Amino acid sequence: MSTLLEQLSTLRTETAEDIRQAQDEEALASVFSAVLGRQGRLTQILRGLGSLPREERPEAGRAGNECKRFLEDLHAERRGELANLAISEELSAEGIDVTLPGRPWTLGKLHPSTVALREIYTIFRGLGFSIYEGREVESDEYNFELLNMPPGHPARDMWDTFYTTAPGIILRTHTSPGQIHAMREYAPNPIRIILPGKVYRHEDVTARAESQFYQVEGLVVGRTISLSDLKGTVQHFADRIYGSGRRVRFRKSYFPFTEPSVEVDIDCMLCRAQGCRICKYTGWLEIMGAGMVHPKVLANGGYDPAEWSGFAFGMGPERVAMLKYAITDIRLFYTNDARFLEQMV
Ligand code: FA5
């Protein structure tokens, strides 16, 4: 027994030294197979343990296995060292090849909604508008009531929303509640702002309608603001964003917070107003809802409607981008398909 333990101890010391001394993979492999290989010295010793007297076997077995584990770990460690050494030798032998072409950086691009929003900002900035940010989580009061839609008002059906668990707190369905926030902040001074941001609607998602999308609201309040100011502003916007000479059409409509209310259409640039699938064969494309701010809304915002008047509009930048870039499905904006997103700017 004691001879066996001595044998193991000598084998361990010698092999450890051999492993440390191995200068390359090949030398290391031959040390390994001489000791730990199928016919290796340690393998033979371990195989012979069965012939020891029964009471000596456990201790001898433990010592043998411990020696094996130790040498295997040392071998793995040295193998790693030699591999690193080989790499650094190769690198220093080769040097740096300055003629190799660099790896190109993949640059991120602006999201199409952001591109559309920025174009809209630029146009309205040129007209002296400032940007006012409203809140995405709103109260029912601001989203509906103060905009002349008391509980039970039928117009609420047009804007079914998402509710939070807090009573009366909802995700806004349009950017119009920002009108009230802004008026209450600016009253009694004139206002010329756009209010961009995300809005949410509980509706079926289709090629033309998303359940989350951006809107850009416009609000102008002053003492002599008239419908012709709205028309001039919209005409200028249409010319700038879709190319000059756009025909703009005002169609009468209904919003509880504007009186009169209109939908604004432009002539379809995709088919030159000849009629196509996108304009539903009418030659016209709807670009926004608009109107003169309702007297009740002016009053809710802190302006005396006998002295003040204003116009407001609300448009969807995704729809703006769809027309401009002939995108036929609004769902592409939010499904993160890089093939679509990469095409922008
Ligand atoms: C409104 O939301 C009114 N607040 C707009 C308004 C503001 C009228 C100020 C008068 C004065 P409407 O629901 O029509 O109206 O939406 C306005 C614009 O948002 C539409 O013209 C369209 O461009 C965009 N939009 C509406 N629904 C969707 C949808 N589901 N997906 C994408 N864009 C939409």
Q: Per-residue confidence at 88, pLDDT binned at 50, 70, 90? A: confident
Question: pTM of this prediction?
Answer: 0.73
Q: How far is the CA of 81 from the centre of ligand 1 (A)?
A: 66
Locate the DSSP E strands across 49-190. Answer: 130-131, 137-139, 169-171
Radius of gyration over alpha carbons of the chain, in Å? 38
Distance of CA 206 to the CA centre of its chain: 21
Locate the DSSP E strands across the chain. Answer: 130-131, 137-139, 169-171, 191-200, 212-222, 248-255, 258-267, 284-293, 309-315
What pLDDT is stored for residue 1 in this prediction? 61
In the predicted model, is pLDDT for residue 243 greater than 90? no
Buried b / exposed e across 257-282, counting CB within 10 Å, b at 16+?
A: bbeebbbbbbbbbbeebeeeebbeee
155 within ligand 1 shell (Cβ under 6 A): no
Q: Per-residue confidence at 322, pLDDT binned at 50, 70, 90? A: confident
Atom 30 (ligand 1): residue with closest C-alpha?
209
Cα distances from 18 to residues 44, 76, 79, 314, in angstroms, run: 19, 14, 13, 81
Atom 15 (ligand 1): residue with closest C-alpha?
289
More confident residue, 93 or 221: 221
Rounded to whole angstroms, the Cα distance separating 229 from 304 reads 20
As given in the structure block, the two tokens for residue 283 are 């030659």
Mean pLDDT taken over the chain: 92
End-to-end CA distance of the chain: 81
What pLDDT is stored for residue 327 in this prediction? 86
Closest CA to 45 of 22, 71, 27: 71
306: helix, coil or strand? coil
Residue type present at position 205: V
Q: Per-residue confidence at 306, pLDDT binned at 50, 70, 90? A: very high
What pLDDT is stored for residue 345 in this prediction? 62
Atom 23 (ligand 1): residue with closest C-alpha?
316
Do residues 206 and 213 lie in contact, with contact meaning Cβ atoms separated by under 8 Å?
no
In the predicted model, is pLDDT for residue 278 greater than 80? no
In the predicted model, is pLDDT for residue 25 greater than 80? yes
User: Which residues lie below 8 Å from residue 138, measured CB to CB, with a gap of 6+?
Assistant: 169, 170, 171, 172, 177
What pLDDT is stored for residue 171 in this prediction? 97
196 within ligand 1 shell (Cβ under 6 A): no
In the predicted model, is pLDDT for residue 344 greater than 80? no
Atom 28 (ligand 1): residue with closest C-alpha?
209
44: helix, coil or strand? helix
* Average pLDDT value for residue range 31-48: 89
263 within ligand 1 shell (Cβ under 6 A): no
Beta bridge partners of 220: 192, 311
What pLDDT is stored for residue 93 in this prediction? 86
What pLDDT is stored for residue 7 in this prediction? 87
230: helix, coil or strand? helix
* Average pLDDT value for residue range 74-93: 90
User: Which residues lie below 8 Å from residue 339, measured CB to CB, with a gap of 6+?
Assistant: none
Residues 126-185 pLDDT 10s: 999 999 999 999 999 999 999 999 999 999 988 899 999 999 999 999 999 999 999 999
β-bridge pairing 248-255 and 258-267: antiparallel
Q: How far is the CA of 94 from the centre of ligand 1 (A)?
A: 64
What pLDDT is stored for residue 270 in this prediction? 78
213 within ligand 1 shell (Cβ under 6 A): yes
- Which range among 84-98, 196-210, 262-276, 302-316 has the greatest average pLDDT? 302-316
Rounded to whole angstroms, the Cα distance separating 337 from 331 reads 10
Atom 24 (ligand 1): residue with closest C-alpha?
316
Beta bridge partners of 314: 217, 289
Rounded to whole angstroms, the Cα distance separating 124 from 141 reads 29
